[in-house]
Structure 1
Amino acid sequence: MSDPLFDPLIHARHRLQICAITSTATHVEFGELQDRLGLSKSALSKHISQLTEQGYLHQEQITRAGRSRLRLTLTDRGRRAYEGHTAALREIIESTR
């Protein structure tokens, strides 16, 4: 488990959801994320770009059934940041009880 460390980049609702979803899978396709989060392509792309620029997500273009698809994977750095952020949130919650 990572040390608790609040991460403002991950904390935004949709980026937190992207990290949560990708943390439980080997990879997730853009379309699946879009369906699950109910975001427009441009809004989801912006969140993905921010996470990718920080090194938290890896993007890979693949072709499946003759169609190009974007596949996303949470990097080791992203996993540590996500786990640290969720640990920090748990600490915040526990300290108020």
Structure 2
Amino acid sequence: MGEGFSEVIHVPTRLRICSILAEVGEAEFGVLRDALDLSDSVLSKHVKVLEQAGFVTVRKGSVNGRTRTWVALNKIGQKAFKAHIEELRKLAAAGDLLEP
């Protein structure tokens, strides 16, 4: 694989998370969970992996007295996601060259 390929991002659920965050910038945890049709625990696990890789920023705050969590694709994550998508495009284009 090329240098832009990310094993962390390539996992389908994390690829979907990054795709959504690349579009919206930041999403509330519950909104992201519902959009992806995931359980809290599954989303939390994948967000943690992305956070440990340095790709997302997680912040907590209070809305109407209730604690909320927001997840954002940070600059490092944006760069990694774009590079990963570009690498996938290259792979797809190479596959097209093999077609008769």
TM-score normalized by the length of structure 2 = 0.90
Partner of 1:66: 65
Q: CA offset at residue 26 of structure 1? A: 2.9
Partner of 2:6: 7
Matched residues in 2 for 1:25 and 1:66: separation? 25
Structure 1 residues 6-85: aligned runs within 5 Å: 6-85=5-84
Q: CA offset at residue 4 of structure 1? A: 6.3
Q: Which runs of 5 or more structure 1 residues have no equivalent in the other structure? A: none
Q: Which has the higher contact order (CA 8 A, sep 6+)?
A: 1
1:45 partner letter: S
TM-score normalized by the length of structure 1 = 0.93
* Cα pair 1:4 1:87 within 8 Å, conserved: no
The SS at the match of 1:52 is helix
**Partner deviation per Cα, 1:29-84 (whole Å, 9 max, x = no partner):** 10011101111111110000000001100000011122111001111000010000
Q: CA offset at residue 13 of structure 1? A: 0.6
The SS at the match of 1:24 is helix
Pairwise CA RMSD of aligned residues?
1.3
The structure where helix makes up a greater share of residues is 2
Matched residues in 2 for 1:4 and 1:25: separation? 26
1:10 partner letter: I
Matched residues in 2 for 1:95 and 1:12: separation? 21
The SS at the match of 1:35 is helix
